[in-house]
Chains A and B, each alone.
Chain A
Amino acid sequence: MTVSLRALMGATALLALSGAAMAETTITVATVNNGDMIRMQGLMDDFYAKNPDIKVEWVTLEENVLRQNVTTDIATGGGQYDVLTIGTYEVPIWGKQGWLVSLNDLPAEYDVDDLLPAIRGGLTVDGNLMASPFYGESSMVMYRTDLMEAAGLTMPDAPTWADIETAAKAMTNTETGVYGVCLRGKAGWGENMAFLTAMSNSFGARWFDEAWMPQFDQPEWKATLDFYLNLMNNYGPPGASNNGFNENLTLFQQGKCGMWIDATVAASFVTGKDSTVADKVGFALAPDNGLGKRGNWLWAWSLAIPASSQKQDAAKAFINWATNKDYLALVASKEGWANVPPGTRSSLYANEEYAKVPFAKMTLDSINSADPNAPTVKPVPYVGVQFVAIPEFQGLGTTVGEIFSAALAGQKTADEALAEAQTAVTDEMKASGYIQ
C-alpha cells in the first residue's frame, strides 16, 4: 500500500511540476466515439505543432452517454468542457438559451462562406454561427448491386417507396439469411424516430400542425407506420426492434441486408475494410412518394464552445484547426480522400480528387435535398427534418420511439401504437404549455 501511495504522490508532484514549467492551456474536448472523431485524435501532432501552448484532453464517449453528460453539464453550468460535440438538434435550442459562444470571430482562413448552406443554416441562431460543423450527413439508400442484379432489378437513382418494397421482396432469401431491408427499430429519438420522422415527411405526415396539435391521429402517420411495419415484418431481420445504426451497419457489412436506409456517413464503412460486401454496394437517394419531400434527414456533428468555458480562445483555436479546409487536406494526405469528414464544405465537393469517391455525389445530393426550415409537405411551426427543435422533443421522441418499437416487436398494432402516441404527446404538450 505504501508503495502505491508513494507512487500516487510522486505522480501528483510530477503533474504539478510539468504544469508549472510549461504554463500551457489545457482544454477538455468532449467527443462522440465515431470513426471520424477517433481519427482526429490520431492527427493531433499537427495541431500541437501549430499550437504548442495548448494541450487537449479528450472525453470520448458513446453517443447516448456523451449527450447525457454534456447536457447535464451545460444546463447546470458545470463548466467541465471547453469544446462540445453536439448536433443540429441541440445547437438551435442551446444557442437560444445563451449557453453557447458565438463563432462569428473565427479567423478568415476558416472561410465561413465555404460551409454548405443547408448545414450552416441549421447551426445559425439569430444570424450568429453557434457551432462549427465537423461532418454533415443525410440519409440515403445503400443496396447490394449483386443481389439486385441477381433479382433482375435496377435501383433508380431516386426511388419511390414502392420501388423499395419491390426490391426488398426480391432480395429476401431466408435460406441464405439475407433480409431485403434493414431499418432502425431501436427506440430513441435519435434512433428509430430519426428514421421514422424523416420517412413520415415523405408520406406527407408531420408531428404537429401550425397550432402545435399532435398529428398522430391523421391518415398520413397511419400510412407511414403501416408501410414501415409491413416492410420490416415481411422483409426485415428478426429482432429488429433492438437494431439501431450500429447493429444494422454490422448486419450490412456481413452481407445480411439487401438494402439499408441510413446515414450517408455509413457509406465509407460499408465500402471499407471491415465490410465483406465492400465492392457490391450501390447508393440511391432516400425514397419518396411523389409528394415533393424525400425521406432523408439532415444532421451535422458540430463543435461548439459552452459559455461556461474559461478557455474560449484556446477552444476557438482548436475548432478552427479541426473544421477548416486544411484539416480536410490533412486527413486526405494521411488516410486518403474517402476518409475525409464529409458533408460540411462546398470546396470539398468541388475537389476533383474527392469526386472520385463513389458516394461523394450521392451524399451531396442527399444533403442538398433536405431542408430543415421546410421539412414537411404541410406547413409546420417547427424547424428540423428528423426532429422537432424544441427542448421537449428528446422526451417526446423517446416516448413515441418506444411505442413504435413495441409495435415492431409485435406487442401492439399500428392503430394502438398511433393512438397511444397521440395521447402521450398531447398530454406532454399540454403539460409544457404549448396547447391548452
Chain B
Amino acid sequence: MARASSPRRMILTTLAAWGVALLIFFPVLWMILTSFKTEASAVANPPELLSASWTLENYAEVWARSDYPRFFWNSVVISIGSTLLGLAVAIPAAWAMAFVPGKRTKDLLMWMLSTKMMPAVAVMIPIYLLFQRLGLFDTKTGLILALMLMNLPIITWMLYTYFKEIPGEILEAARMDGAGLRSEILYVLTPMALPGIASTLLLNVILAWNEAFWTITLTTTKAAPLSAFIASFSAPQGLFYAKLSAASTMAIAPILILGWFSQKQLVRGLTFGAVK
C-alpha cells in the first residue's frame, strides 16, 4: 500500500523508522562491538565506544580453544539436511492436500501443527533413550531426522498455503494437454511454487540452525553443532563478556549473513497464507 506523501512526512517517517530499526538491531550491534573490545574495555564504566581498546584477540582465543570449523560444518549439514529431507516428505503431502482436498484435510493440518505443541522437555528422556538404542545418538543422521520431524508440520503448512494460491485452472489445462501426475508436478507446479519452496527452505534452515534443545541433548562430539559450541562458552572463568560476544558472533554470523542476502526471498515468502 505504498502511497505518495509529502517530503516532510517522508523525512519524519524515515527518521522514525530508522530509529526503531536501530533500536531493535542494537543488541546485536552491541554484541558485535563488544566482541572486538578487550575484556577490560568491555566492562568499563561508563561504557566505552570511541575510546575503547579494540582487539582481535577474543576471536583468536575462541578459535584456538575450540574446533569451530567442525561445529560450523555440523550446523550446515544438519540444518540443510533436515530441511531438504523435510521438503522431500512435505512437498507431495502439501500438493495432495492443496489440490485433492478431502473433508478432513483441515483437521489433518491442524493435527500436524498440534504435534508441535508437546514441550520438548516433556519427551526428552524417551527420545534420548530411543536415540541411544537405535544408534542415532550423536550422529548427524539422527539430528537431521529429529529436526526434520520437528519442523515438518511448519514446512507442510507453509507449502500448503503456497500451493493453494496456484490457480486450479492451470492444472486443468495441463491435464487436458495430457500431462501425467508426474509431469504435472515437475513442469507445471514446481516452477510456479518455486518462490514458496525457496522461502520455506530458508525459514527452516533458520529454525534448524537456531534449535538449541535437541542439538545439545542428543549430541556429544561428532554431531555437535554451533548451539553446543555456545553451550561450552556460556560460563568460562573470569572476565568473559568479550570472549562470549566473540563466540556468539561466530555462532550467529553464518545464518545472519545468509538471512541478509536472502531477505527479499524470505520476506516475500513468509506469509503462511496470511495474504489473500
Contacts and interface: CB of A to CB of B under 8 A. Distances in A.
B137 A80 contact: yes
A33 interface: yes
A249 interface: yes
A4 B76 contact: yes
Given A1-B84, A62-B232, A274-B39, A34 B239 contact: no
Contacts of A250: 43, 238-240
Interface in B236-263: 236-240
Contact of A76 (B45, B84, B128, B217): B128
Given A246-B235, A274-B238, A72 B128 contact: yes
Given A33-B233, A38-B65, A60-B232, A76 B129 contact: yes
B80 interface: yes
B78 to A, nearest CB: 11
B55 interface: no
Contact of A69 (B39, B84, B220, B240): B220
Interface string A30-54: 1001110010011000000000000
A382 B125 CA distance: 30
Contacts of B39: 274
B231 interface: yes
A215 interface: no
B115 interface: no
A63 interface: yes
A34 B235 CA distance: 9
A35 B137 contact: no
B226 to A, nearest CB: 14
Given A1-B80, A76-B132, A250-B43, 10 more contacts: A33-B233, A33-B236, A60-B66, A61-B232, A65-B232, A69-B220, A72-B125, A246-B236, A254-B43, A269-B238
- Please list the 6 inter-chain residue pairs (A to B) with the smallest Cβ-Cβ separation, ordered nearest first: A274-B238, A60-B232, A62-B234, A59-B220, A274-B239, A57-B221
B237 A28 contact: no
A78 B217 CA distance: 13
Give the residue among A28, A60, A65, A253 with the most B Cβ atoms within 10 A.
Answer: A60
Interface residues on A, range: 35 or more
B40 interface: yes
B232 to A, nearest CB: 5
Q: Is the interface of A mostly helix, strand, loop or mixed?
A: mixed
A276 interface: yes
Contacts of A1: 80, 84
Interface in B28-85: 39-40, 43, 45, 64-66, 76-77, 80, 84
B145 interface: no
A125 B137 CA distance: 31
Nearest to B128: A72
15 contacts: A1-B80, A1-B84, A28-B221, A33-B236, A35-B237, A38-B236, A41-B65, A60-B66, A69-B217, A80-B220, A249-B237, A249-B238, A250-B43, A250-B239, A272-B238
Contacts of A8: 77
Contacts of A61: 228, 231-232
Contact of A246 (B137, B232, B240): B240
A81 interface: yes
B177 to A, nearest CB: 31
Contacts of A253: 238-239
Given A1-B84, A65-B231, A250-B238, A58 B65 contact: no
B198 interface: no
A303 to B, nearest CB: 16
A65 B39 CA distance: 25
A57 B238 CA distance: 26
Contact of B231 (A62, A246, A275, A276): A62
Contact of A63 (B128, B220, B235, B240): B235
A177 B128 CA distance: 47
Interface string B117-139: 00000000100110010000110
A1 B84 CA distance: 10
Interface in A239-280: 244, 246, 249-250, 253-254, 269, 272, 274-276
A34 B237 contact: yes
Interface string B185-209: 0000000000000000000000000
B216 interface: yes
A59 B71 CA distance: 12
A246 B125 CA distance: 30
Contacts of B216: 65, 69
